[in-house]
Amino acid sequence: MPTSHPDFSALYSTLYSTLKPLLAALLMAASGAAAAQAASWPVRPVRLVVPYVPGGATDLVSRVIAEQLSSRLGQQVVVDNRPGATGTIAFTGVAESAADGYTLITTADSLTLLPSAFKNLTFDPRSSFAPISLMSTQPLVLAVHAATPAKSVREFIALAKAKPLSFGTSGTGTSQHLSGELIKKMAGIDMTHIPYKGGGQAIVDLSGGQVPAAVLGSSTVIPQTKTGRVRILAVTSKKRSAALPDVPTLDESGLKGFDVYQWTAMLAPAKTPKALITRLNTEVVGILKQPAANDRLQAAGFEPQSSTPEYVSELIRGGMARWGKLITELNLDLR
């Protein structure tokens, strides 16, 4: 006599029908709890970590945003500079912090270089952080000390081919450093890289003549052009900068296809509740629409720009692919 088998499909259907309302209720409760948490947050000061020294581009943007964010949240947002090892110390610490919205970090695009520069990282830029929003963009600039004879990129290339030159940047393994290496490659010249512990230190030596040239963020260099000590030869972005409309691009100056710009963004530790990320994104977007922040950033040479969290994720992934390829091609040791 054939053995009968239970009808599991019917059993599963009955079980699902019974549990579906309960699951929906649990999800709604969790969603409500997350929304309530985001609405009541913050109840104490928030720490905004900056992985670089005071005075640089990322530090300046961070302080403008932190000041406005403090007003909007009703709690102090404390800027905490944690430089060292090209930012890896700060990024490691934040990646391991509690995902509760009380520890955030701002970053420049240099974050995307770190996996190629440091093989034993304990964090992954793609998965260890929850992006919040873009904050600003700016082109880098090729600048020289006023005593350097070159008045254009073509003259600079000729000068570099005639005698050894050096160029300063905010540090090894940064987008400024890699942009300088890309200039060397595309122009067919050789220059010695002089890394500094931040753009603030590099511009001091450039304006003092200790280094003849530098590749730095435009906001770091523009104030020194007004003293007559520094001259900007070109911007690195494909389009001219609104802050420097009369300065040509490297692309226009003969290095066809050159297109690099620096961006800053705000991140949180991975697994930060989505409701908190949404709340923070809304606040940053709102801040960058207001003259109090927008005008200050533009006056400093930045282009204020907010975004969705997803757009920041795309920038991180794209940067890792682009710079990783260049580092491999040039066989650079960034340690």
Whether pLDDT at 8 is above 60: no
Query: Checking DSSP bridges between strand 303-304 and strand 129-145, what pairing results, if any?
Result: antiparallel
Q: What is the pLDDT of residue 29?
A: 47
Q: Which residue has the higher pLDDT, 10 or 32?
A: 10
278: tokens are 């949404």
Quick one: CA torsion of 296, 297, 301, 303, rounded to 10 degrees? -140
User: What are the residue ranges spanned by the domains of the chain?
Assistant: 46-137+262-330, 139-235
Of 24, 52, 45, give the one whose Cα is nearest residue 217.
Answer: 52
Which CATH superfamily is 46-137+262-330 part of?
A: Bordetella uptake gene, domain 1 (3.40.190.150)
Share of the chain above pLDDT 90, in %: 71
Q: Identical fold at 46-137+262-330 and 139-235?
A: yes
Q: What is the pLDDT of residue 20?
A: 64
CATH of region 139-235, choose from 2.40.50.140, 1.20.1250.20, 3.40.190.10, 3.40.630.10: 3.40.190.10
Q: Which residue has the higher pLDDT, 304 or 332?
A: 304
Whether pLDDT at 300 is above 70: yes
Which distant-in-sequence residues (6+ apart) come within 8 Å of 172 by Cβ?
A: 86, 117, 193, 195, 334
